[in-house]
Amino acid sequence: MCELVVITNRKLCQGDFLERIRLLCEAGVDKMVLREKDLDEQEYERLAGDVMEICKRYPVKCMLHQHLAVAEKLLLQGKSDRKISVDGIHLSVPLIKQYSERMGFLSQVQDDVLEQGFKSKKNWNEMHALGKEQKRILFGVSAHSLEEILLADGCGADYVFYSPVFETSCKPGAVPKGTDALKKICKKSPLPVYALGGILPENAVLCLKAGAAGVCVMSFGMTASFGEISGLGKVCHAF
């Protein structure tokens, strides 16, 4: 079964952001990536707590974005507060490159994430403790080429977002890669590939037929109706 992933951007949301999160959960999305790049660490932590509490009710996996220190703090908090559940962390290639270049080799990325909060390999391993059904948290990376996907794989990633597949207003000027390139990437990637960029109900099937493990939406996820989101989710789950 393929998945529907929503990447958040509260600035695109016309109504209350947390109500949008509830709508997405009720519509059947599989994962939520809490992006919100403009927030500082404290603001992001507060919002993450609210979003994770909603997601856990359904349940929908909530992936934190870039904020490793927040992920660690909320993981520790979740030991005593069952409303808090860190399901995963999603990173950019520049961030994992920063660690790999500093350490000298890729396998050390998980051993030393010092600069944003993980104090030791023990703490990183602790981050991978999820709960009843999963053995560890998910680790995802945004990639734009096979080279970056292999880098992510070397760092221990579980999946990648590959973009932009289609033209998208979120990345003006970015050249769309198209479904032929997506198909080649899916065949060569050692990791599950999620298609991102300009995904709409009318082209999502093309991505799934190309071998994508799922599709990711931002603008559509922040603005579409319950029925539209639910319909796209059903399309994904049918594969």
Digit-coded pLDDT (tens) for 126-145? 444 433 333 467 889 999 99
Q: What's the burial of 122, exposed, middle or buried (CB within 10 Å: 0-12/13-18/19+)?
A: exposed
pLDDT at 95: 82
Collect the ranges in the chain with pLDDT lower than 70.
Answer: 78-85, 98-136
Give the range of the structural domain holding residue 110, as residue numbers without chain letter: 3-237
pLDDT tens by residue, 106-129: 334 344 433 333 444 444 444 444
pLDDT at 67: 86
pLDDT at 84: 63
Which tokens sit at 140?
């995802």
pLDDT at 100: 55
pLDDT at 47: 96
Note the pTM of the prediction, 2 decimals: 0.84
Q: How many domains does the chain have?
A: 1
pLDDT at 75: 74
Q: For position 152, which CATH number holds?
A: 3.20.20.70
Which tokens sit at 52?
């994770």
pLDDT at 59: 81
pLDDT at 126: 45
pLDDT at 99: 57
